Chain A
Amino acid sequence: MDVTRLIIVAVGGQGNLLASKVLGEAARASGVSVRMSEIHGMAQRGGVVESALVFGAAESTVISDGEADILVSFEPLEALRALRKCSEKTVLITNTKPLPPFTAATGRGTYPDMETIRSRIRAKTARLIEIDATALATGAGNVLSVNMVLLGALAATGLLPVTENAVRDAIRETTRKQFLETNLKAFELGGQAAK
């Protein structure tokens, strides 16, 4: 079986780890071999959270620079920062809603404009899929469902070795019941936006 390498980057608190867990669960239930690793030391304190998911016949749980097949970013600046993981074969999906880091607010760095982000990503990857996940999540009824919107977009690309239905089932299995309805709605909105 081929190996599919997926990186998900987000800002602490955006729900990256839950999204990874859903995908891991979807793969497990579909009989697809998967391993993942995460760096989440200070996820709750606003740092960058990165997870790597390796589907298929490989032993490694980490993904080297230049070797991600798909990169999903929950925030546009972090998509740009994670470009080192990509190659001209990579499909990159990003949320377009910026979350400026505190350093930019206090003048220790400048947040790049969206056009720069867009043009650099387009020049260095195979395809850029832009989703205003924050707006879609709000539309689905819960701004915190950004992760589900992006999962919807990711599943809709058909690049994963798991089906959209398997991801839907995993959302039912893994996420809290009180948010299930908005999560599934967010997932559908993300899928429609990516198609």
Chain B
Amino acid sequence: MHKLLQDKPSETFFLLGNEAIARGAVEAGVAFAATYPGTPSSEISLNLFQMSRESDLYFEYSTNEKVALEVCAAAANCGVRTMCIMKHVGVNVAADALMTLAYVGVKGGLVIVSADDPYMFSSQNEQDNRYYGKLSGLPILEPSTIDEARRIVADAFELSESLKIPVIVRTTTRINHSTGGVVFGNIAPPKVGGGFERDPFNLVTVPAVSRSLHVKLLEKIARAEAMASSSEYNFIDGGGPFGIIANGVSFNYAKDAVRDLGVEERVRILRIGFSHPMPAELIGKFLAGCDKVLVVEEGEPYMEEAVRSIAQEAGYTLPIKGKGPELFSRLFEFDPQLVREKIAVYFGFSYTPPVKPDLSDIPELPQRPPNLCPGCGHRAVFFAVNTVTEGMEVVKPTDIGCYTLGFLPPLSAGDFLICMGSSTGTAGGFSRCANRKVISYIGDSTFFHSGIPGLINAVFNNHDMTLVILDNRTTAMTGHQPHPGVDMNAHGMAGYNRVSIESVVRGIGVEHVSIVKPYNLKKCMAALREAIGYKGVSVVIARQDCALQIKGTKKAAGRPFAVSERCKNHRTCINELACPAFYLEDNRVKIDAALCTGCSVCAQVCPEGAIVPVKEKNKQK
């Protein structure tokens, strides 16, 4: 049995934040869930996916976050308790659906998890999705601890059903990827709903309907604000004259700081866990008892702005600070020492900063960036493109996935990236303005996610571009989730269909389509040369199963290669392919047999033909 399905109320388990969130949903009787994977949210979905295979829960990986939210919107409008999971930038993709779903509302509880990523550990920006609460009108709940994440998700379903609108649970990486004790509650039976009832004058958002729906949404926001002021997730800790208002993990840092500074008697902390609408009445009361207030929040001054506005309305003139040059930054994540120092500085508490080691005599250390794996088909494709375009002026928009890592030298496979799918859309602009040949890279999952409209645009507007689709048959970067191009039967899962990338591309009307196997460099380069020489839209589909996913299976390439005595130390292999299986020993290139997958690409690159398969079969199992 899946560990999150265990019926063991009151027992404590040591869980990842994302596991606690999935457990919270199960305890609330979630019956339906959909997602597009994205760090730091991915393990929530992974656990729901696993549980769906041994319970009545319906779970799907949808093609993108907008589709996932639409799927969930319909389920929730059939009365089903539903969860939709995405990373913060995924909410941008889903935003069109989100904004009007807020008008239409739900029958069964719908919880949308937005996993924000301050410091951008694995994201392209660090946007603060609390503003989506303001923008859409939807309530936002934010946990501070792992156990609270479980409880808050379970309660979010209740809140959603009570207000009949979706509720956003906003986390940050330090909740999703932290681990702590979680006390299990009871598991409610899945709430499956009673089907769909037609109600077009409330559910079809033509202008006349939406005008009345917006009125209703404002009424719900007013009710939500009153609920926020009495919510158990907004509470006051301590009773001194100095006030701290904090949310999420910042609350933990503030609480530790107050104890470390020994100022428990002088500080009161208002923890905001129900952060949209902001609890105006509670904040007003809190401010009335304070001489001075500091708002501690990562990201934007979301609470600070609200607190100032509440104070202004009440006629309070006490100092309220948060973001500022001497205080907190809008950049990156906080840590305990930073929060301790700012609290001490602002309120004038005595404080001894930690003695940090003097690192001035540490030599410059070689970086250890994540790298494409040994045997990764992307590396072969990038090398092939680099070889074929040598001496040409090219621009290479790239996209989001493992292959983004190829932008580093020596492969240098990527010149522009803003969001999922942007490699196909931006290709149009570059083809008109950059005066260079455009070669775009996109992965298979990203192609389905949002690459297709850009490709259609390129065909219709007759842009001159080559799109290289790096088809590794999985959503690799986030942990090998399926996508519409994956053969689910091969993974032992029945009941799915499969969408062919080639058919989609041909169906769009791309006239120059080729399919290559990256490990065959010669043929791969020939196809690329022809595609790049074609005037108009050409597509090259490079098919190679993800080396990491097939490691140790029958599909793995074969026995490892080694460098023979014929090597004349050109180092084309190590300098231009840069496979992590290479290393230098006594100034000679060697291949780590434990890492080598036997893809043979380096053997094809070596000018001396010095890289050969090792004779004895000692494949790594």
Binding-face segment, B108-116, B175-183, B275-283, B440-448: B175-183
* A84 interfacial contact with B, CB 8 Å: yes
* B363 interfacial contact with A, CB 8 Å: yes
* A81 interfacial contact with B, CB 8 Å: yes
Residue contact B335 to A64, C-beta cutoff 8 Å = yes
1/0 contact string of B332-369 vs chain A (CB within 8 Å):
01011110000000000000001111110111111111
List CB contacts (< 8 Å) of B449-474 with chain A: none
A116 surroundings in chain B (CB, below 8 A): 363
Q: A41-B121, A124-B357 are contacts. A105–B582 as well, Cβ < 8 Å?
A: yes
Q: A42-B370, A101-B368 are contacts. A65–B337 as well, Cβ < 8 Å?
A: yes
1/0 contact string of B138-182 vs chain A (CB within 8 Å):
000000111000000000000000000000000001100111110
Shortest CB–CB separation between residue B606 and chain A, in angstroms? 16
List CB contacts (< 8 Å) of B540-579 with chain A: 548, 574-575, 578
* A141 interfacial contact with B, CB 8 Å: no
Residue contact A106 to B578, C-beta cutoff 8 Å = yes
Shortest CB–CB separation between residue B75 and chain A, in angstroms? 31
B12 surroundings in chain A (CB, below 8 A): 28
For this complex, into which size category does the number of interface residues on chain A fall? Answer: 35 or more
Residue contact B179 to A24, C-beta cutoff 8 Å = yes
Which among A20, A39, A57, A88 has the greatest number of chain B C-beta atoms within 10 A? A39
Residue contact B574 to A120, C-beta cutoff 8 Å = no
Shortest CB–CB separation between residue B59 and chain A, in angstroms? 23
Residue contact A35 to B180, C-beta cutoff 8 Å = yes
B39 surroundings in chain A (CB, below 8 A): 41
Q: Chain B interface secondary structure, helix, strand, loop or mixed?
A: loop
Q: A40-B177, A60-B336, A62-B174 are contacts. A45–B370 as well, Cβ < 8 Å?
A: yes
Using CB atoms, name the residue of chain A closest to B371.
A46
- How far does the alpha carbon of A51 sit from the alpha carbon of B145 in the complex, in Å? 17
Using CB atoms, name the residue of chain A closest to B369.
A47
Residue contact B336 to A67, C-beta cutoff 8 Å = yes
Residue contact A58 to B575, C-beta cutoff 8 Å = no
Residue contact A39 to B177, C-beta cutoff 8 Å = yes
Residue contact A41 to B363, C-beta cutoff 8 Å = no
A62 surroundings in chain B (CB, below 8 A): 174, 249, 333, 335-336
1/0 contact string of A38-72 vs chain B (CB within 8 Å):
11111011111000000001111111111100000
Q: A34-B180, A59-B255, A64-B335 are contacts. A103–B366 as well, Cβ < 8 Å?
A: yes
Q: A47-B369, A84-B359, A87-B356 are contacts. A100–B583 as well, Cβ < 8 Å?
A: yes
Shortest CB–CB separation between residue B341 and chain A, in angstroms? 9
* A194 interfacial contact with B, CB 8 Å: no
Shortest CB–CB separation between residue B617 and chain A, in angstroms? 20
B580 surroundings in chain A (CB, below 8 A): 46, 102
List CB contacts (< 8 Å) of A77-113 with chain B: 77-78, 80-81, 83-84, 86-88, 100-106, 108-112
Q: A28-B14, A45-B402, A105-B574 are contacts. A61–B370 as well, Cβ < 8 Å?
A: no
- How far does the alpha carbon of A114 sit from the alpha carbon of B402 in the complex, in Å? 33
* B256 interfacial contact with A, CB 8 Å: yes
A39 surroundings in chain B (CB, below 8 A): 121, 173, 177
Give the contacting residue for B368; candidates A33, A47, A64; CB below 8 A.
A47
* B490 interfacial contact with A, CB 8 Å: no
* B410 interfacial contact with A, CB 8 Å: yes
* A37 interfacial contact with B, CB 8 Å: yes
B144 surroundings in chain A (CB, below 8 A): 59
* B372 interfacial contact with A, CB 8 Å: yes
* B618 interfacial contact with A, CB 8 Å: no
Shortest CB–CB separation between residue B148 and chain A, in angstroms? 11
* B373 interfacial contact with A, CB 8 Å: yes
- How far does the alpha carbon of A46 sit from the alpha carbon of B337 in the complex, in Å? 29
Residue contact A59 to B575, C-beta cutoff 8 Å = no
Shortest CB–CB separation between residue A37 and chain B, in angstroms? 4
Q: A37-B178, A62-B336, A84-B359 are contacts. A103–B370 as well, Cβ < 8 Å?
A: no
* A12 interfacial contact with B, CB 8 Å: yes
* B215 interfacial contact with A, CB 8 Å: no
* A140 interfacial contact with B, CB 8 Å: no
Residue contact A111 to B366, C-beta cutoff 8 Å = yes
Residue contact B583 to A87, C-beta cutoff 8 Å = no
List CB contacts (< 8 Å) of B216-267 with chain A: 249, 251-253, 255-256, 259
* B405 interfacial contact with A, CB 8 Å: yes
A120 surroundings in chain B (CB, below 8 A): 361-362
- How far does the alpha carbon of A34 sit from the alpha carbon of B14 in the complex, in Å? 9
- How far does the alpha carbon of A33 sit from the alpha carbon of B181 in the complex, in Å? 8
Shortest CB–CB separation between residue A13 and chain B, in angstroms? 10
- How far does the alpha carbon of A108 sit from the alpha carbon of B584 in the complex, in Å? 13
Q: Which 6 A-B pairs have the closest CB atoms?
A: A109-B366, A64-B337, A59-B252, A47-B370, A42-B370, A41-B122
12 contacts between A and B (CB under 8 A): A28-B12, A35-B180, A37-B174, A37-B178, A59-B251, A60-B252, A61-B179, A83-B359, A87-B356, A102-B580, A105-B583, A112-B363
Beyond contacts A67-B336, A109-B366: 20 other A-B pairs, Cβ-Cβ < 8 A, are A20-B179, A34-B180, A35-B180, A38-B179, A42-B370, A44-B548, A45-B371, A47-B368, A59-B251, A60-B252, A60-B256, A60-B335, A64-B354, A66-B355, A83-B362, A105-B582, A106-B574, A110-B366, A112-B363, A125-B357
